Amino acid sequence: MKYLIFIAVLIVIILAIILSCLCVVPQGNAWVVERLGKYSGTWQAGLHLKTPILERVVRKISMKEQVADFEPQSVITKDNVTMNVDSVVYFQVIDPKALTYGVERPIAAIENLCATTLRNIIGSMTLDETLTSREKINEETIKVLDEATNKWGIDITRVEVQNITPPKSIQEAMEKQMKAEREKRAVILTAEGEKQSAITRAEGEKESAILRADAVREERIRTAQGEAEAIRAVAEAQAQAIRMVNEVKPSQEYLSIRSMEAAEKMADGQATKIIVPSNLQDVTSLATIVKDMK
């Protein structure tokens, strides 16, 4: 009976040891294993069996991309302006063994290296260049960090400079400058608008004057054409009347009467006396000539 109990206890102990040696590595992780204090291997995601006593897991590492948000760093620009720079670093572990045995505190190492790199880069720029060259700062920083962290098994995927905070006095001066620039642009835009309005108004007045002049000219041309047509019609009528008279061949008595009527019209009804020459034939001729001249 005691023998059976001993066997059962032994089996339970063996099963417990076997179960404790079964290791399941989650997806997106890697475990670094040592055998008797020396590196034995890196376990990827899945089920693994650990040798009791001889092997142990020394580090569990996430292979996912990680984000490190660092505290603002004090930097000095080329023109001696002190400012605070807040940066964020995105990185991913690509070699668990190098990370385990290459650096003791990787996040602190990246933070210090990032701060040093930012001081060097911004120290070679003026304040204005720093505020307008974030992309350049990001590119140079990631280049330096990636080169330094490759031997640690870390790949720097992205570096972002979040905030660049100049001193309060510099901020006030920049706000005044921006306000002056906005007012200047507003004045320029107003002047341009007034100029364009004046040009448009002048062009409108010019076109209106041209149209009025064209209308007056057209009116005068039409009036002159109408008068010319009237004169031509009167002349043609007179010529037609003369031809008709010549064709009829009126008597001397009729011509004498018409001559007297013509003389009366010449007096225009205002004369009180009409002098009739002794030679009435001459008066008739004169009246006929006067009538033809009208």
pLDDT tens digits for range 49-81: 888 888 888 889 888 999 988 888 888 888 888
Secondary structure tally for the chain: helices H, strands E:
8, 9
89 within 8 A of 68, measured Cβ to Cβ: yes
The token pair that represents 194 in the structure block: 């007034």
pLDDT 10s digits, 12-34: 777 777 777 788 889 989 999 99
- Decide if pLDDT at 121 tops 80: yes
Quote the pLDDT of residue 269: 53
pLDDT 10s digits, 251-271: 666 666 666 666 566 555 554
- In sequence order, what DSSP letters do the residues of 211-230 get, joined into one string? HHHHHHHHHHHHHHHHHHHH
E strands in 65-220: 65-69, 73-76, 82-93, 154-165
pLDDT 10s digits, 149-177: 888 889 998 888 888 887 777 767 777 77
User: Does residue 126 sit in helix, strand or coil?
Assistant: coil
pLDDT 10s digits, 72-118: 888 888 888 888 888 899 999 999 998 888 888 888 889 888 888 88
Quote the pLDDT of residue 30: 92
Where do the domains of the chain lie? 2-62, 65-166, 174-245, 250-268+281-294
Average pLDDT over residues 220-249: 79
Orientation angle between helical segments 134-149 and 106-123, nearest 10 degrees: 140
Q: What is the C-alpha separation between 262 and 224, in angstroms, rounded? A: 30
* CATH fold of 65-166: Tetrahydropterin Synthase; Chain A (3.30.479)
Per-residue confidence band for 283, with pLDDT thresholds at 50, 70 and 90: very low
Orientation angle between helical segments 280-293 and 252-267, nearest 10 degrees: 60
For the chain, give the mean pLDDT: 80
Quote the pLDDT of residue 4: 73
Residues 6+ apart with CB under 8 A from 55: 33, 34, 35, 40
Q: What is the C-alpha separation between 223 and 168, in angstroms, rounded? A: 81
45 within 8 A of 27, measured Cβ to Cβ: yes
E strands in the chain: 22-25, 29-35, 38-43, 46-49, 55-62, 65-69, 73-76, 82-93, 154-165
